[in-house]
Amino acid sequence: MHKYVIKRLLYMIPVLLGVAFLVFTILSLTPGDPGSIILGMTAKPEAIAALNKEFGYDQPFLVRFFNYIGDIIFHFSLGTSYQSRQPVITDIMARFPNTLLLTVFSMSIASILGISLGILSAVRQYSVLDHTLVVVALIFASIPGFWLGLMLMLLFSLKLGWLPSYGAGSLKHFILPTLTVCMGSAAGLLRLTRSAMLETVRQEYIRTAKAKGASPKRVIWKHALRNALLPVVTTLGTSFGASLGGAIIAETVFAMPGMGTLITTAIRQKDIPVVMGATLFLATLFSLIILIVDVLYAFIDPRIKAKYQNGGKVRE
């Protein structure tokens, strides 16, 4: 297992280099330059040129890219923000806790609701409850996140006055953004869990367990659920990683200072170090989360663990 983990960690290096090169290329192709954006279009060309030279923006594309990668490798630095003039890691650490809390809250609620209701829907297939849950899941999966966030804000903030509508000062500020993010994820997990469970309960070993007199609860929780969890764990892992950088809609609607708003603001201001640093930071976290998901497979399915231990070959 440890060899597999080391191999996957080494694979992350070219992946992160590819992400860095792609994002750096896109930012370099966008119109404008940092000096003009910071000083304004009415500034003197000499002042704009001097500021761009201070940032190193007057150098060729490849020189700037390899200088940036060199700073990461040799100085462990993600650069300095053009706007705040602070280290990029400082800006990231000021925003990341809010995004992490939002992601943990939303994915925890989504997993509890989606998996439990998906199991209930599969166990009572074709019942009124099953049809109701499927319809509700389709509705929430189809609702745009920004619209749901605005409706929650209108109801609970403006009409009832129960919850704050913006900011991240307390846990109450996270309730509406969490509901906005988790409802769509919960709907997707419900449908996925239901499909996986229905496919699993039709397998021969489930019929064998029933024939041996196993109770329905034991069949569902010990035999069926464990094998149906593989696609669910995959979706949870990818959704969690994507939410770290993909909660832009909720952060924008509720004016929450997080990673999503940090990146979008930096793109508009062409703050290349912030965009690059935040993107690489999130890409690293996403890669680590996917690695953790793959390792969890070994604990869910012993066949996968045996494959890892035998160097990718399953013993006959």
pLDDT tens figures, 88-124: 999 999 989 998 899 899 989 998 999 889 888 888 8
**From CA 258, how far away is CA 92, in angstroms rounded?**
9
Q: What are 234's two structure tokens?
A: 């995959």
Looking up tokens 């965009």, which residue turns up?
275
Burial of 200 (0-12, 13-18, 19+ CB in 10 A): buried
Confidence (pLDDT) at 250? 85
Angle in degrees, CA 289, 79, 83, rounded to 5: 110
Res 274: pLDDT: 93
Q: Is 313 left (phi over 0), alpha (psi -120 to 50) or beta?
A: beta
Nearest residue to 238 (alpha-carbon basis) of 290, 196, 278? 290
What are the CA-CA distances from residue 171 to residues 33, 167, 240, 248 (Å)?
Answer: 39, 10, 20, 19
Q: In whole angstroms, how far apart are CA 207 and each of 120, 159, 214, 216, 236?
A: 19, 53, 10, 11, 29
Of residues 138, 261, 143, 147, the one with CA closest to residue 155: 147
Query: Does residue 43 surpass a pLDDT of 50?
Result: yes
Residues in the chain: 316
User: Does position 312 have pLDDT exceeding 60, yes or no?
Assistant: no
CATH code of the region 90-309:
1.10.3720.10
Exposed / middle / buried, residue 85 (Cβ in 10 Å: 0-12, 13-18, 19+) = exposed
- For residue 311, is it left (φ>0), alpha (ψ between -120 and 50) or beta? left
| pLDDT at position 196 over 80 | yes
At position 310, the amino acid (one-letter code) is N
Per-residue confidence (pLDDT) for residue 304, from 0 to 100: 64
CB contact at 8 A, 223 and 170: no
- CA dist., res. 188 & res. 57, Å (int): 44
Q: Give residues with Cβ within 8 angstroms of 144, minimum separation 6.
A: none
Contact by Cβ (8 Å): 8, 294: yes
- For residues 159 and 296, give the distance between their C-alpha atoms in angstroms, rounded to a whole number: 44
| Distance of alpha carbon 233 from alpha carbon 225, whole angstroms | 12
Per-residue confidence (pLDDT) for residue 1, from 0 to 100? 65
CATH 1.10.3720.10 intervals, the chain: 90-309
Say what the pTM is.
Answer: 0.81
The predicted-structure confidence for 203-260, as pLDDT tens digits, reads as follows 777 778 778 777 777 777 776 777 777 778 878 887 887 777 667 788 888 888 888 8
| Residue 83 and residue 269 in contact, taking contact as beta carbons nearer than 8 Å | yes
The residue among 218 and 31 whose pLDDT is bigger is 31
Q: What is the pLDDT of residue 316?
A: 40
Whole-angstrom distance, CA of residue 250 vs CA of residue 124: 34
Average pLDDT along the chain: 84
Ramachandran area for residue 32 (φ above 0: left; ψ -120 to 50: alpha; else beta)? left
Yes or no: say if 177 and 254 are a contact pair by the CB < 8 Å rule. Answer: yes
Which parts of 124-174 fold into alpha helices (H)? 128-142, 145-152
Percent of the chain whose pLDDT exceeds 70:
93
Fill in the amino acid letter for 24.
F
